[in-house]
Amino acid sequence: MDRIRIAGGVPLQGAIPISGAKNAALTLMPACLLTDETLVLSNLPHLADITTMAHLLSQLGVAMTLNGHAPGGGHVGRVLELKAARIADTTAPYDLVRKMRASVLVLGPLVARCGEARVSLPGGCAIGPRPVDLHLKALEELGAEVLVENGYIVAHAPNGGLRGAAITFPQVTVGGTENALMAAVLAKGESTIINAAREPEVADLAHCLVAMGAKIEGIGTGTLRIQGVDRLHGADYAVLPDRIEAGTYAVAAAITRGDVELVGARIDLMNSVIKALGECGVVVTETARGIRVAANGGPVTGTDIMTEPYPGFPTDMQAQLMTLMATAEGASMITETIFENRFMHVPELARMGARVTVHGASAIVRGVPKLSGAPVMATDLRASVSLVLAGLAAEGETTVNRVYHLDRGYERLEEKLAACGARIERLKGEG
């Protein structure tokens, strides 16, 4: 098993290119199941989760062509052509779905187009229960018959297909909104999704569906109105930049007291993270190419954050900001309201000298002058990268074990950091 070794203490200087958003790409790829024409996705990141989704779609009968160039000769990430001319299978098996929760997003498109689906209950990071019951209730509102048997979600649409309905989510659910939206675009009549997730990745899916011929109003708001259509067509669509990757590298610049430009990052997608960094004394400015994050050796002060659905502070940035707060002046409180069990990185940070006390859903972080390098163990995707950030700032050498989590969400992590001066390397087959 690979591990990453870091010799810390080097302020990052330079530019880091921001890849396409993993969470958007994983939502856009299943949209190809809604049409028999070709969906071309550009700016696609090269990540383990993307490969897992590609394997699942291939098993369902989707033909794919992958290359590194956008139409017209430009280089815009990787380009994936997906064509589901015929759905060969409507079962998403356990051996693929267990690797990644986003696999459940084939459920809505399969039921909408084929009238049936059999999808294993999903797996993914062990960061607390994330039930799919809201996905299933949304499909039932649209007229599907849904049951869970032997670890599989089994859904059937009536003979006339799905029908439009008013869907009200009792709590914000990103995946539930995405599944409901993809099902509703082919349902007969009008659907309304109330208390819809407002995350940029949900809006990205909606914009892609509109490019494919869907009729959707209220994109980016908490209420989506969908007029069902008989069929969708193909489209060319670019995945939006990854706001979590950009936020992670912004913290990397801050925690090393460096100065980094995040090329391709969009400031409008990162308001809550930028606000938190500003409260810490980090200077964030928009550039012609993206965003510049500068700490330049200056002090970073503690601040309090609470994770919330978008546009609040993202849960996927909580571990990274906690690591920054571990090196800040004063005390900070971090409250996690989205997922249980998302403080698994705390014991590992403590091994490096961080002073963090967890009380239920909140953690008190008391900054220390310096972290110390140590061998640490990654537990999930965002916890993994928080340990890399700690290693960048620490005195001495840090080894992060079980880094396969990182490969699910960060493209060329070591290469991007090394280009800005980080002393970081991957050790193959160890740990």
- Tell me which residues are annotated as active site: 125
Query: Both tokens of residue 38?
Result: 């070709």
Dihedral sign, CA of 287, 326, 390, 11?
positive
Q: Give the Cα separation of 72 and 89 in Å (integer).
A: 34
Query: Both tokens of residue 258?
Result: 């460096």
Burial 271-286, CB ≥16 within 10 A → b, else e: ebbbebbeebbbebee
Q: Give the Cα separation of 417 and 423 in Å (integer).
A: 8
> Cβ contacts of residue 51 below 8 Å, gap of 6+?
none
Query: Both tokens of residue 10?
Result: 């080097």
- Torsion angle, alpha carbons of 108, 165, 38, 33, to 10: 20
User: CB of 28 within 8 A of CB of 205?
Assistant: yes
Residue type, 418: A
> Cβ contacts of residue 380 below 8 Å, gap of 6+?
125, 126, 127, 342, 344, 405
DSSP result, 208-243: HHHHTT-EEE-TTSSEEEEE--S----EEEEPPB-H
In a 10 Å sphere around its CB, with 0-12 CB exposed, 13-18 middle and 19+ buried, how is residue 360 labelled? exposed
Query: Both tokens of residue 218?
Result: 């209220």
Burial 298-334, CB ≥16 within 10 A → b, else e: eebebbebebebbebbbbbbbbbbbbbbbbbeeebeb
User: CB of 129 within 8 A of CB of 95?
Assistant: no
Q: Give the Cα separation of 181 and 193 in Å (integer).
A: 8
Q: Which of 417, 393, 413, 395 is nearest to 403 (CA)?
A: 413
Residue 32 main-chain phi, psi, to 5 deg: -65, -20
Q: Give the Cα separation of 431 and 426 in Å (integer).
A: 11
Q: How many CA atoms lie within 13 A of 97 on its CB side?
A: 18
